[in-house]
Structure 1
Amino acid sequence: MSDVPGSVDLLATIEDAGLVRPAGPVDVVGGVPARFVAEPATTEQVATVLAAAARHGLTVVARGSGSKLDWGHPPTALDLIVDTRRLAGVVEHAAGDLIVVVRAGTPLAELRQLLAPAGQQLALDDPLPGATVGGVVSTNTSGPRRMGYGTVRDLLIGVTLVRADGVVAHAGGKVVKNVAGYDLGKLVTGAYGTLGLVTECAFRLHPVPAAQAYVRCRVPLAGAGGADLVGRLVATVRAAQLVPDALEVDAPVDGPIELVVLIGGTTAGVAGRAEAARRLLAGAAGPGPTGADLEVLVDAGSPPPWWSRYPWLPGDTGLKLTGVLSAVPDLLGAARTVADRHDVPIRVRGSAGTGVLYAGLPANAEPDRVAGVVEELRGAAGTAGGHAVVLTAPDRVRDRVDLWGPVEGLELMRRVKDRFDPEARLAPGRFVGGI
């Protein structure tokens, strides 16, 4: 830890002493306790805090709701937590342009309520309840609707952030001062707060659909047969003119795999497309017992209970698996095979329509077995044209596995980090390669 001055000395460097307080027992990131906590309410206050932190050489980690503080590596040092929860609310809602500018500490659920009266939405899901706008951008988390509406990077059109030295930078739409040479929105999305502290985001909005329906299909076949059938069903849906908002798959440890198609739009249009999807799925398995056993339901109300939720509980090991669309059955099949080989239950869930899946392993699984699972799934994801990243894991598993695995462009990432944070004081060590 850096040579930190006493709390009185630090508070004296900030005009509004109420911005900073000594840290308490809950002010911990990845098991690393902080010395101080700042609670700014404006971009200007964040700039004041980070400028003071820079003068004292303090290491800094941003915190929103804390729902993903167990993701990534623990910081190598932690002097100051900047809590963004007072940095909340809508700055501007240009309803006619379908644009909103929102502060980073705003919970997604709260933003959804604020936009609802205008019949508009930010089409980002929140798999972890309480997630804030800044946390979603920092970890690049997108849920089921990424298929129809795009990811965080697609919807983010402008960003305001404060650099490690306290300088405010802007980029993209609805801003005044741009940083030449960098697409800040894309750089900070998924950077785990290592390049700057995001204070405001401008997003592209979409109308809330008048109606929606969930077409649910249960695949009774186990093992590779079930995964192959899911692949055929996914290909059938994608080849049709259904234009789904989401195409999700849930493969529990035991029991049938479930495929769900989310269709949104006008009331009449949704009814017709949902019925077309039901017929397509029911007929996709072909004649014989398999087709007869394929259960397809249309639910115009609520999604299944697992919808937009990660397949793990707090304390479990959670992985993100990616691959080309055609390889989704291979990833599902690999997870079942690896689970049997290592005798570790694995639940897989995610977007069969975009090739982004998540896998959950129980907290009590032996670390050596988890390491074996991660190694094999990383190989399967690589063969599928993607990657396998451990998002969260118990400490005893972290000691045995490489969370990120091989990453292309690591040296370029290091140079960008050096450009934005040459003293490596922002979320040090949290990101890939110890960045």
Structure 2
Amino acid sequence: MNLDVDGCDLREATVEDAVCGVVPRYVAAPSDTDALAGVMAAAHRSALSVTVRGGGTALDWGGTPRSLDLLVDVSALSWIDHIAGDLVVEVGAGTPVADLYAALASAGQRLSYDPVRLGCTVGGAVATGVSGPRRLLSGALRDLVIGMTVVRADGVVASSGGRVVKNVAGYDLAKLHTGGFGTLGVIASVAFRLHPLPESLRVVSARVSSRSRAEEALAALRATSVVPSAVELDWPPEGPGRLDVVLEGTPAGLEARAGRTVRALAENGADGPPTVREELPEGWGLLPAEGTLALVTTPPAQSVAAAAWVAEVSGAVDAGARTQGSASTGSLVVSFPPGTAPERIGLVVDGVRSATEHPLVLLRSEPDVRAAGISPWGEVPGLGLMRAVKDSLDPGHRLSPGRFAGGI
């Protein structure tokens, strides 16, 4: 086995390099895309299994790797090529999302994606594919990707799309890699379309004490023309829920839109007068950094019902689950407090999967939950097609084996 590649540092791994509890044999840190391609080609020749690390904030997400010989650290692939006049940016996969936001803000622009983890990198955000609250207006993260460069399992560099928003050349391979947990290729860089920074912001918040009142409030909001950037539902284990409606635009226009939103909620479902703030709540869009997390996907009209059902099942087994997420897109995250007994989590997971048609995926499982054998993915529609794609792009099944649905 020879992993010596120009521009790539190699060392033996330690327990701090573990992925879902599995410690790799080696860690490679390429300095650029060429070095990344070189080390992937070397790993291919030696038939090594490979997993990728960026900021390291999601190494406990997804399934447990069946094998892990080499951890490839892409944190050195950190650069930003901002084409402000075209509202486009191309970014190295190892670039911290916070650095990208700061660079774009200085030019009055933004990537309309709310990070769900502190310290995440661009490559990690794309590889996990979970989008924050503003997906309602701007689309999910995958919708903001217009180009991508990846390194295949055999070390070949491949690109799709480009740095032009209306580019339609070739297959949209970027969609396959977004949310693929690094099982189809190693992301080297990503091109995004951008939006201008809004001049002003308002957050209208309302308490809702029951499922019926929350659904009434959302129906009233849909009947208005306020066009929110996000509508977030927070359904705690006990007590009333909360709706946060984010409005963005010019100061003059926002006053009228906020007023219409307040009236709609106050007259339909809100318990008490809604409040209005001029900044986002602390920790906006961030998922809990500890505990087990599950993603539930529902039709938007059933978001409140799904959250209420999770609360009911969780309450029956004292699991303490909290449900938060985009009520208007049906993307909800269920968080269990750290240390929740695996059998209680299993009862909630089984209850949601068996009693509803809503897919539930365990994004992050605590070690004892993994040991309990709770399936992270449940039943996966289209799994045969997904396996065929895996066979085509990674025939040796060496890229993050077992990390994705169905053990892919």
TM-score w.r.t. the length of structure 1 is: 0.90
Q: Counterparts of 1:275 and 1:377 in 2: how far apart (Å)?
A: 37
The number of aligned residues is 405
Deviation at 1:41, TM superposition (A): 2.3
Q: Which amino acid aligns with 1:379?
A: S
Contact in 2 for aligned 1:323/1:355 (Cα 8 Å): yes
2:275 aligns with: 297
Match of 2:34 in 1: 44
What does residue 184 of structure 2 align with?
195
Aligned counterpart for 1:107 among listed residues 96, 102, 105 = 96
Offset at residue 309 of structure 1 (A) = 2.1
CA–CA distance in 2 between the matches of 1:236 and 1:297? 17
Whether contact under 8 Å (1:169, 1:179) holds in the other structure is no
Following superposition, the deviation at residue 360 of structure 1 comes to 1.0
User: Which of 40, 43, 49 does residue 59 from structure 1 map onto?
Assistant: 49
Deviation at 1:262, TM superposition (A): 0.2
Cα distance in 1 for partners of 2:303, 2:252 equals: 32
**Aligned residue number for residue 407 of structure 1:** 380
**AA partner of residue 265 (structure 1):** G
1:288 equivalent in structure 2 = none
State the one-letter code of the partner of 1:55: R
Task: For residues 152-205 of structure 1, give each alpha carbon's deviation from its aligned partner in whole angstroms, at most 9, with x where no partner exists.
Answer: 111001000000000000001239xx9997421111011100000010101010
SS in 2 for 1:320: strand
Show CA shifts across 1:119-174 (max 9, x none).
00001111210111111111111101000111111100100000000000000123
State the 1:411 CA deviation.
0.9
Contact 2:206/2:243 (8 A) holds in 1: yes
What are the equivalent positions in structure 2 for 1:153-192 lying under 5 Å apart?
153-174=142-163, 182-192=171-181
What is the one-letter code of the residue matched to 2:32? T
1:62-101 alignment to 2 at 5 Å? Answer: 62-90=52-80, 92-101=81-90
Match of 2:243 among 256, 259, 265: 259
Whether contact under 8 Å (2:184, 2:394) holds in the other structure is: yes
Classify the secondary structure of the residue corresponding to 1:413. Answer: helix
Tell me how far apart the structure 2 counterparts of residues 149 and 61 of structure 1 sit (CA, whole Å): 31
Matched, 1:280 2:272: no
The alpha-carbon deviation at position 365 of structure 1 amounts to: 2.3
Helix, strand or coil: the match of 1:29?
A: coil
CA contact (8 A) 1:153 1:186 kept: yes
Distance in 2, matches of 1:181 and 1:318, equals 36
Q: Superposed, which structure 2 residues align to 1:19-418 within 5 Å?
A: 19-90=9-80, 92-174=81-163, 182-219=171-208, 221=209, 226-285=210-269, 293-301=271-279, 303-310=280-287, 312-314=288-290, 316-382=291-357, 386-398=358-370, 399-418=372-391
2:161–2:170 CA contact under 8 A, matched in 1 = no
What displacement does 1:211 show? 0.2
Contact 1:388–1:404 (CA<8 Å) still a contact in 2? yes
The amino acid across from 1:388 in the alignment is L
CA contact (8 A) 1:323 1:381 kept: no
CA distance in 2, matches of 1:74, 1:180: 36
What is the distance in 1 between the residues matched to 2:197 and 2:283?
22
What's the CA shift string for 1:205-233, capped at 9, x where partnerless?
000000001001112x2xxxx12211111
Question: For the Cα contact (< 8 Å) 1:367–1:400, is it kept in 2?
Answer: no
Judge conservation of contact 1:87–1:199 (CA < 8 Å) in 2: yes
1:422 to 386, 395, 403: 395
Higher Cα Rg, which structure: 1
Any conservation in 1 of the 2:322–2:336 contact (CA below 8 Å)? yes
Report the secondary structure of 2:335's partner residue: strand
The structural deviation recorded for 1:348 is 0.7
Contact map agreement 1:371 1:400 (CA 8 A) in 2: no
CA shift for structure 1 position 313: 4.1
Q: Take 1:414 and 1:259, find their aligned partners in 2: how far apart are those partners?
A: 39
Q: Is the 8 A contact 1:344 1:361 kept in 2?
A: yes
Listed one character per residue, the Cα deviations across residues 93-132 of structure 1 (whole Å, up to 9, x for unaligned) are 2211111111111111110001112100001111210111
- The 1:109–1:99 alpha-carbon spacing in structure 2 relative to 1, beyond 3 Å, is same
Q: What residue ranges of structure 2 are gaps of 5+ in the alignment?
A: none
1:157 and 1:409 mapped to 2: Cα distance? 25
Separation (CA, whole Å) in 2 of partners of 1:419 and 1:78: 21
Moved >4 Å (runs of 4+): 178-181
- Partner letter of residue 174 of structure 2? G
Backbone CA RMSD of aligned residues: 1.8
Q: Partners of 1:10 and 1:134 in 2: how far apart?
A: 23
Q: Percent identity between the aligned chains? A: 44
* Matching residue's letter, 1:108: V
Q: Deviations over 1:3-28 (max 9, x none)?
A: xx4xxx433xx234x52222233111
Retained in 1: the 8 A contact 2:117–2:289?
no
SS of the residue 2:30 aligns to = coil
Unaligned runs of 5+ in 1: 286-290
Answer whether contact 1:368 1:400 (CA < 8 A) is retained: no
